[in-house]
Amino acid sequence: MKKAIIATTLALVLALIASPRPAEAAGGPFGLGIILGSPTGISGKYFFTDRQAIDFAVGWSWAGSSALHIHASYLFHFTVARPKPFDLKLFFGGGIALFIWGDHYKHHWTNEGGRVGMGLRIPLGLAFRIRSIPIDPFVEVAPGIGFFPGVGPIVEGGIGIRYYF
């Protein structure tokens, strides 16, 4: 079983590396940078095609109470403007967020407490993919719903920048 998991993981990593890059962008399909907001930390994105990507962030969330925040989302991108130096892309998608509090915390979306929370997120944003250099400044808002340990609304968002290689 362990060998099968390792082989599957290796095959997925190789498939991601070998998949086609966005044709018009400088740099490669993988971007890494920072995000400021909720969360504040490290942000990454991997483009499968010019229109589809997975993004993630690991950082600190200040909503309600400070917590380690980890999220991943599948995104769809649409070019809405093409001024000379960059492409303005609208993106939206869906994903999941995990919150880990250091102390017992009464979650802001429910009356139940605990150290771990989880929810669904629906990110919507704009990315400015600069054609001549491999960076994309972005802004996003991600409303969602917490589903563990209880049910209630979540609102996240941030601004950031990633370097693609």
For residue 95, how many other CB atoms are within 10 A of its CB? 20
Quick one: pLDDT band at residue 18, thresholds 50, 70, 90? very low
Per the domain annotation, does 16 fall within a domain?
A: no
Backbone angles phi, psi at 14, to 5 degrees: -65, -35
Total structural domains in the chain?
A: 1
For residues 104-129, one letter each, b for 16 or more C-beta atoms within 10 angstroms of the residue's C-beta and e for the rest, the string is ebebebbeeeeeebebbbebebebbb
Per the domain annotation, does 9 fall within a domain?
A: no
| Average pLDDT over every residue of 82-94 | 88
Residue 55's nearest CA partner among 25, 81, 77, 27 is: 77
Per the domain annotation, does 2 fall within a domain?
A: no
Per the domain annotation, does 108 fall within a domain?
A: yes
Region of residue 91 (left: phi > 0; alpha: psi -120 to 50; beta: else): beta
pLDDT at 111: 56
Domain that holds residue 50: 21-164
pLDDT at 85: 81
Region of residue 114 (left: phi > 0; alpha: psi -120 to 50; beta: else): left
Residue 136's nearest CA partner among 7, 20, 45 is: 45
More confident residue, 102 or 55: 55
Residue 54 structure tokens: 């997975």
pLDDT at 164: 93
Per the domain annotation, does 5 fall within a domain?
A: no
pLDDT at 108: 59
pLDDT at 14: 44
Per the domain annotation, does 106 fall within a domain?
A: yes
- CATH code for the domain of 137: 2.40.160.20
Global confidence as pTM: 0.77
Quick one: pLDDT band at residue 148, thresholds 50, 70, 90? confident
Question: Is the confidence at residue 78, as pLDDT, over 60?
Answer: yes
pLDDT at 143: 95
Residue 101 structure tokens: 């509090």
Per the domain annotation, does 147 fall within a domain?
A: yes
Q: Which helix H or strand E contains 50, and what residues bound it? A: none
Per the domain annotation, does 13 fall within a domain?
A: no
